[in-house]
Amino acid sequence: MHRDTDRFFAKKARREPIVALTCYDAPTARLEDAAAIDIALVGDSVGTNLLGYASERDVTMEDMLHHTAAVARGRTSAFVLADMPYLSYDTPAHALENARRLLAAGADGVKLESGRAILPQVAALRAEGIAVCGHLGYTPQTKGPRPAVAGRTAPEARELIADAEALRGAGVFMLVLELVPEELARHIAGRLSCPVIGIGSGRGLDGEVQVVNDILGLTARTFRHAKAFADMHARAGAAIRAYADAVRGRAFPEERNATHLAPDVAAELGIATE
């Protein structure tokens, strides 16, 4: 049921936006399911958003397996899409071995960065029936941790279009375009028969993917491509400060947070109950 990617093609046909959001843990997966998010993306952005790494390149297969399993335990209906981390798909055999591990951990499909350079890897996964999503534009694994718009010049744009078409030809069920000019992204979405979703790639695509920390306002940083729909950084900071103040002032824990020894047990042990 979860592995079915037809529903995304149906949404594209109906011009119904596909909603994808990164997800790194079980409680967030439950929240995303309750909001009927279509795709819970266990992105390698887990590294910079949750694990304290400087770059997506630091994320390991073990990290991805751990977080994919947590998300899979929390979701009931969202499609779990797991990023294949840096160097985990450098050869077709390696890609197949690691994709299988991610599927065994609970992923319904995998996402790989790059274009024509990884066609043999995509073909190897598709030959085994594995659902593969492409990722073009700004690709942190190959371009490093400094985001930059991709496809601004005509030669760059042509490369992107050729990569997108080659990936679709190899059988990807979806393509993520990150930091691509709106006109170019829309042009690619119009040419491809599979859904094309964007992040920082403007309006009018087949859907959107965002980083959950950004839409929750969990970090003090803001990005042009994102919007904080809540200020969780301020709210979480205030709650943690209030907790610390309450403990220091002995206002927490309270009587209602405690359990007590039965008087006869306390008496037998010689422990005062007051």
Count of positions (residues) in the chain = 274
Q: Which of 178, 183, 208, 268 is catalytic?
A: 178
Tell me 126's DSSP state: H
Is 114 a binder of ligand KIV (CB under 6 A)?
A: no
Is 160 a binder of ligand KIV (CB under 6 A)?
A: no
Is 63 a binder of ligand KIV (CB under 6 A)?
A: no
**215-254 binders of ligand KIV (CB under 6 A):** none
Helical spans, DSSP H, in 83-194: 92-104, 119-127, 140-143, 154-170, 182-191
Q: Are 227 and 218 in contact (CB under 8 A)?
A: no
Residue from 43, 74, 137, 217 that binds ligand KIV (CB under 6 A)? 43
Q: Are 40 and 23 in contact (CB under 8 A)?
A: yes
Secondary structure of 40-70 as H, E, C letters = EEECCCHHHHCCCCCCHHHCCHHHHHHHHHH
Is 171 a binder of ligand KIV (CB under 6 A)?
A: no
The site that binds ligand KIV (CB under 6 A) totals a number of residues, namely 11
Residue number with CB closer to ligand KIV (29 or 199): 199
Is 141 a binder of ligand KIV (CB under 6 A)?
A: no
Q: Which helix (H) or strand (E) holds 131?
A: strand 131-137
Please list the active-site residues.
178
Q: Which residues bind ligand KIV (CB under 6 A)?
A: 22, 43-45, 83, 135, 176, 178, 199, 209, 211
